[in-house]
Amino acid sequence: MTKLQDLIAEAGKCVNCGFCESVCPTLPAAGFLSTKGARGRVDIAKFFYKDDSIDPSASFYSCVDCYACLTVCPAGVNAGKVSEIGRMILAKQGKAPEIAKMIVELTMRYKNPLGVREKCAQWARGIEFDAPETLLYTGNMYQLMAYLRKFGKLRKFFGQYEVQLASFIRKHPSSVSIFRDLYDKAMMDKMNGYLINIVKLLKQNGIKFGYLGSEEPYPGTFIYDLGFEDEFRDYARYVSELFRSKGVKRIITVDPHTYELLKYIYPRYTEFNFEVVYYMDLIGTHKISGKYAVHTPCHFSRYFDFSEYVGRMFDVNVEENPTRCCGGPDELLFPEISENISEKRFNELSKTGLPIVTACPICYANLAKDDSVTDISSILLADGERVSSASVH
């Protein structure tokens, strides 16, 4: 089937009941503009395949891919999938937003969206690693959040000229060097600390692993999410060959986006015969003391019950909901929508009066409105040290 046929098949199941609008996070965040809600996206898709002169880019690209719509749709329509297919069609037609094109081209050139691989590897200075047969793969995801926070502020500064800025960088890719020292230092320190926590947790559990340092490439999340399928196929092949050349057999991922991409999406596009695991699967589990409000990353909820997953370690009094998004996926193209979604989610979690915990760097970066939010690695490490100390005494 062609992508257009896939779009028709998915959108054609819709009975227009509107249940999806009750859970779609982008609809209220966009002021209830129907084209930026789940049903609106499906409706636009129905017309788009009949008349490709319609420009549905704002609709398809504003979807955060949380799949909340699918959980309530009686006809089984996934507006997130509709948006994903729509973005692939637009990218193929050359109709993707200018900023999307810029990010993809920079990633293909530098193997990192902002050309900052060396900076992203600095967190590991002084840490001893083993051979990379088992590889700790950060994918630069935690580290890039500090850059994206500054990038968002830069976009606001340029305002209506952001398209011109993106066009200039596309024509002069070496100009991306302006970003190398343009990051939020406090966020970078936090993210580097969380990666160090993960290293400590793995070593405490006897796991030996390597790290590629400045050779480590970004996994290509933006390329895939923005719909550039041909480019993603080439990129996935590059990453796969790099791992193979290093003798990698098992890959330890540290975030839900990279876990999903390597375990479920890469094998569709290239030969990817590596074992992919999430680091929490490799550490000892016991009940964590205290109670927390746990935010569920959308990309974990697609493949397993995250509430059961964290229930092995956290008290049963856990506030989590797999249909509530942090707004992160819209940060690049629709920062206002992203901010509205994250503010709402943060307020929901704050009302519990509990410390807020997440297991995703994107979720953390969007929800970290104050010091009540932390990465799950901090909780796991602190509790493990408490248990060890108690056993000694």
Mean pLDDT across the chain: 88
**Region of residue 102 (phi > 0: left; psi between -120 and 50: alpha; otherwise: beta):** alpha
Place 389 in a pLDDT band, splitting at 50, 70 and 90. Answer: very low
Report the pLDDT value the prediction gives residue 302, as an integer from 0 to 100.
77
- The mean per-residue pLDDT over the stretch 66-95 comes to 94
- Is the pLDDT at 181 greater than 70? The verdict is yes
Asked whether 307 and 296 are in contact (CB, 8 A), the reply is yes
Phi and psi angles of residue 12, each rounded to the nearest 5 degrees, phi first: -65, -15
- Is the pLDDT at 282 greater than 80? The verdict is yes
Q: For residue 254, give both structure tokens.
A: 């540290």
Spatial neighbors of 157 by CB under 8 A, at least 6 apart, are none
* Each residue's pLDDT tens digit, 193-219: 999 999 999 999 999 999 999 999 999
Whole-model pTM: value is: 0.91
Asked whether 171 and 288 are in contact (CB, 8 A), the reply is no
Q: Give 341's Cβ-side CA count (13 Å radius).
A: 30
265 secondary structure, DSSP code? I
Chain-centroid distance of CA 41 in Å reads 21
- The mean per-residue pLDDT over the stretch 244-253 comes to 98
Report the pLDDT value the prediction gives residue 392, as an integer from 0 to 100.
38
Locate the domains of the chain by residue range.
3-92, 98-280, 291-392
Largest CA distance in the chain: 73
CA distances 199 to 155, 189, 377, Å, are: 34, 15, 10
Phi and psi angles of residue 322, each rounded to the nearest 5 degrees, phi first: -70, -10
Report the pLDDT value the prediction gives residue 316, as an integer from 0 to 100.
46
Place 370 in a pLDDT band, splitting at 50, 70 and 90. Answer: very high
Report the pLDDT value the prediction gives residue 130, as an integer from 0 to 100.
95
